[in-house]
Structure 1
Amino acid sequence: MKHVLESVESQFETFQILNEDGEIVNKEEMPDLSDDDLKELMRRMVYTRILDQRSIALNRQGRLGFYAPTAGQEASQLGSQFALEKEDFLLPAYRDVPQLIWQGLPLYQAFLFSRGHFHGNQFPDEMNALSPQIIIGAQYTQAAGVALGIKKRGKKAVAVTYTGDGGTSQGDFYEGINFAGAYSAPAIFFVQNNYFAISVPVEKQTAAKTLAQKSVAAGIEGIQVDGMDVLAVYAATKHARERAINGEGPTLIETLTYRYGPHTMAGDDPTRYRTDDLDNEWEKKDPIVRLRKFLEEKNLWSEEEENKVIEQAKDEIKQAIKKADEQPKQTVTNLIENMFAELPINLKEQLEEYKEKESK
């Protein structure tokens, strides 16, 4: 039995295309991306890093509510989203707001979501997505159901969902991948392994050497990817999407990544469970630095271009938070009216009570 396990684990080697020095180390797997595509990926990652910095500042000022930092995970998040099509369906976790934004969610609504305002969850009609899931792992079972619905409707699309390494310790994780595998549903399940969940090291969560190998038990394809390598994440996602829409079933993708900030801004202190040496080691793998080196070597990127993106991001964030501030304040009656299609008697009574209070 030991030899069987070792044989399985040995097959899950980390897939990489672009190394830490910005060099292509896997030419045969280099995705078919134009120079403009490569620059757009860089632009989105730089923009998202600035968005993260400004969101942290806005949170500290009391102008945002719940916020989970994203710095360090841009390649995993945006490389995967870049491989999707508009008809695909996103089921994000709470750290995955950047994917929603690049899939079509207006920035001001992302800010309203953070504040708990109902309009932050009223996505554009043409956007296929659910609101970020707060319950750990619940989006996996939802994604399996959405993927089955896509299949039954005969659509050439996929359901894509994300969780962290901690999510793989939840029952919903296995139930989701097992259901999708049993019905060969077109789903892509991401595990963004940043090694600590909220604070528990991944080696204390599981005896498995990789999280990708958990796909074996569900009978689906799995791959471990360098999550700081945007080209590898894109290529793996593109492959998984093609398999799914061709009826070959779901894929589990583990991206090895790192969040530079705390788990959330709600009081987590990563210095209590992570060392400076570890932080420094992962900063050398920064996905933005890595792609920047690659593009500069190809004369496709410059400091001037990057500064333009930074200024654009700052300006658009400023305008978005202003628009969020201008939205009507959420009321108790809003909450009651949005809770049910048809109100039960007790809430009808409360609705009238609060309407009277709010009219004064």
Structure 2
Amino acid sequence: MAATLGCPVIYYCRNNGYAISTPSIEQYRGDGIASRGIGYGIDTIRVDGNDIWAIYAATKAAREIAVEQNKPVLIEAMTYRVSHHSTSDDSSAYRSKKEVEDWNKRDNPISRMRAWLENKGWWARGEDAEVSKTAKAEVLAAFAAAEKLKKPAIHHLFEDVYDEIPQSLMKEKAEIEELVKKYPDYYQVNEFARQ
């Protein structure tokens, strides 16, 4: 639909080789999903998902196509998931520890970026611990500050979705506003900004 309507949208698929516990080789024929984008008439870019500069270049090119040509673009970033799928997943049930360690050593995006920075003379071994400690403290402080803020007003759910809000959506907006007024305790209205 995006291709036939000429929607300027970027679809980003991080292909990490697994759908929870199912390896991609058991999911579909072929080597990825890039061909599906082409099949739908969507310009498609496949990129090394572990290379930050390749990702940047692909995303920049996709944006130019979407904005200048008013059409969709699919980016398939080929990568590997070294962690579990979720907190309820134990990936050791479907892949070996050695497989994960090999991928992590061979193609880890953080290690690759570190090597690039060291090569440029912009990073020295041993700086990781201090930077990591500082960054963690900054993130935790920002998180704590954000938790104190009120959630955005509910009316923002309906903004910046359409150029002109359709009547059906206006009706839904009125319905949810009425429900929130009727059941303020259930919707915990005191946690939301008024405007």
- Normalised by the shorter chain, which TM-score bucket? 0.7 to 0.9
Match of 1:259 in 2: 81
Q: What number of residue pairs does the alignment pair up?
A: 163
Offset of residue 324 of structure 1 = 5.7
Query: Structure 2 vs 1, CA of residues 354 and 190 (structure 1 numbering), >3 Å: closer, same or farther?
Result: closer
In the aligned structure 1, how far is the partner of 2:76 from the partner of 2:147?
38
- Alignment match of 2:103 (pick from 279, 282, 285): 282
Q: Is the 8 A contact 1:210 1:224 kept in 2?
A: no
Secondary structure in 2 matching 1:246:
helix
In the aligned structure 2, how far is the partner of 1:191 from the partner of 1:353?
36
In the aligned structure 1, how far is the partner of 2:85 from the partner of 2:95?
12
Identity of paired residues, percent? 37
Amino acid at match of 1:282: W
Match of 2:135 in 1: 313
Match of 1:237 in 2: 59
Q: Is the 8 A contact 1:193 1:258 kept in 2?
A: yes
- Unaligned runs of 5+ residues in structure 1 are 1-178, 329-338, 356-360
Q: Is the 8 A contact 2:15 2:32 kept in 1?
A: no
Offset of residue 211 of structure 1 = 1.0
Query: Structure 2 vs 1, CA of residues 183 and 260 (structure 1 numbering), >3 Å: closer, same or farther?
Result: same
- Unaligned runs of 5+ residues in structure 2 are 151-174, 189-195
Match of 1:209 in 2: 31
Match of 2:169 in 1: none
Q: Is the 8 A contact 2:17 2:81 kept in 1?
A: no
Q: Is the 8 A contact 1:188 1:250 kept in 2?
A: yes
- Alignment match of 1:270 (pick from 82, 91, 105): 91
What TM-score, normalized by structure 2, do the two folds share?
A: 0.72
If asked which structure has higher relative contact order (CA below 8 Å, sep 6+), I would say 1
Amino acid at match of 2:122: L
Deviations, residues 21-44 of structure 1 (Å, cap 9, x unaligned): xxxxxxxxxxxxxxxxxxxxxxxx
Amino acid at match of 2:100: D
Question: Displaced runs of 4+ in structure 1, greater than 4 A?
Answer: 324-328, 350-355
Match of 2:42 in 1: 220
Secondary structure in 1 matching 2:22:
coil
Offset of residue 259 of structure 1 = 2.1
What's the RMSD between the two structures over aligned residues? 2.7
Offset of residue 318 of structure 1 = 3.1
Secondary structure in 1 matching 2:11:
strand
**Higher Cα Rg, which structure:** 2
Offset of residue 193 of structure 1 = 0.7
- Taking the TM superposition and a 5 Å limit, the aligned residue runs for 1:79-98 are none
The answer to whether the aligner puts 1:341 opposite 2:177 as a matched pair is yes
Secondary structure in 1 matching 2:19:
coil
Amino acid at match of 1:291: M
Match of 1:196 in 2: 18
- Taking the TM superposition and a 5 Å limit, the aligned residue runs for 1:43-54 are none
In the aligned structure 2, how far is the partner of 1:183 from the partner of 1:208?
28
- Taking the TM superposition and a 5 Å limit, the aligned residue runs for 1:70-149 are none
Secondary structure in 2 matching 1:249:
coil
Deviations, residues 156-207 of structure 1 (Å, cap 9, x unaligned): xxxxxxxxxxxxxxxxxxxxxxx11112221111110111121111122212
Match of 2:157 in 1: none
